Amino acid sequence: MTPDTNHLLFLAWLIGTTLLSALIVKTMARIGVMDNPVERSSHTVPTPKGGGVGIICAFLTGSIVIFPLLHQPYLFSIIALLGTVAFLSIISWLDDIKQWPALIKLAAQIICAIIITLIIPSLSLLQQSYFLLLPIILIWLVYIANAFNFMDGLNGLAAGIAAICCIFFYYSTHQIEFGLIALALLCGLIGFLPFNYPKAEIFMGDVGSQACGLLLATFAVIPLNNIDHITLTTIPTETILIFFLLFGVIYDVTFTLIRRTKNRDPILQAHRSHLYQMAHRCGVKAAIVTLVQWSFCIWGGVIILFIPLSTMFNTLCAYSLLIVPQLIWTLFILNKTRQYHIKKW
């Protein structure tokens, strides 16, 4: 085939995957599995959930279509990854409908994390640092899957962050096969976002947020499949990139967990005391809070693009630039809670 034909097929794949997502999302909105507002909800009227079904179905379909383009060494890893995403999505969708105990979801996440940990990093790398690397990857995958789920509380927030991560990962990865997987997810998210931001016709639901969180966490693990030895100074740039992109999510969730632990609040109990939720409760418009969180994600990517972490000074500068906006945001929200006389949150 000529280059022009290849470009047209590539464009058709992008458009087709996006339209498939939009079609399924629209259908899910009509089916109407409702998310009824409760005390901890940010929305006030019953709204359909399950938009993540469109995201994940389009992602899986788009990924399967490009199987003939994948190199053999990566094919098994990608098939296994798609299988784990499909499994977690099914469990999460059933939970959206039936409201299962949190331990069932956690067990499903751990199973998926174990599979990804065993298939993505290179075998020699796992053998070299098995007892250290394995638990770190497992904790990372489960933590980000949950953290992303926790952050899916305002219109467009989680989906937008996921889309930004996909764009940065696609342009930074040296493994085009996994870059195409990121593009498939991006198309699924683009098909969903017009129905969720700025006004929500439908929510993503756990079916989307947990699967997207797991995939984004996996993007940080993927670069480990090409190295045989790892130290603090040889961590792949793509791995650090994902950490920087998701730092706003990680900071918010970690800050909230520490604060709730200090206040002796139940950690596993649903609540609306994340920093982004407190900003909304204190009068900041939901669309603005979402844009702030998107900007944190973009800022993390920009830091990695323009500051090579080749020296200790550069590394300290990069992490300082990453953390300072979060501290300013935290102080802003703390001040807002005082203005609104919210003492316990």
Give binding residues for Mg(2+) as ranges. Answer: 149, 206
Distance (Å, rounded) from C-alpha 273 to C-alpha 267?
11
Q: Taking phi first (over 0 means left), then psi (-120 to 50 degrees means alpha), and beta for anything else, what does residue 62 get? A: alpha
**Peptide bond before 198: cis, by omega within 30 degrees of 0?**
yes
* Residue-by-residue DSSP string for 93-115: HHHHHH---HHHHHHHHHHHHHH
Closest CA to 253 of 222, 286, 296: 296
* Long-range contacts at 122-129 (CB < 8 A, ≥ 24 apart): 122/224, 122/225, 122/226, 122/227, 122/228, 124/228, 125/224, 125/227, 125/228, 125/229, 125/230, 128/228, 128/229, 128/230, 129/230
User: Residues marked as binding?
Assistant: 149, 206
The enclosing H or E element of 34 equals strand 34-35
**Whole-angstrom distance, CA of residue 153 vs CA of residue 197:** 12
Q: Which residues contact 92 (CB under 8 A, 6 or more apart)?
A: 52, 105, 108, 205, 206, 207, 208, 209, 210, 211
For residue 203, give the 3-state DSSP assignment: strand
- β partners of residue 47: 35
Burial class (CB in 10 A: 0-12, 13-18, 19+), 151: buried
DSSP 8-class letter at 47: E
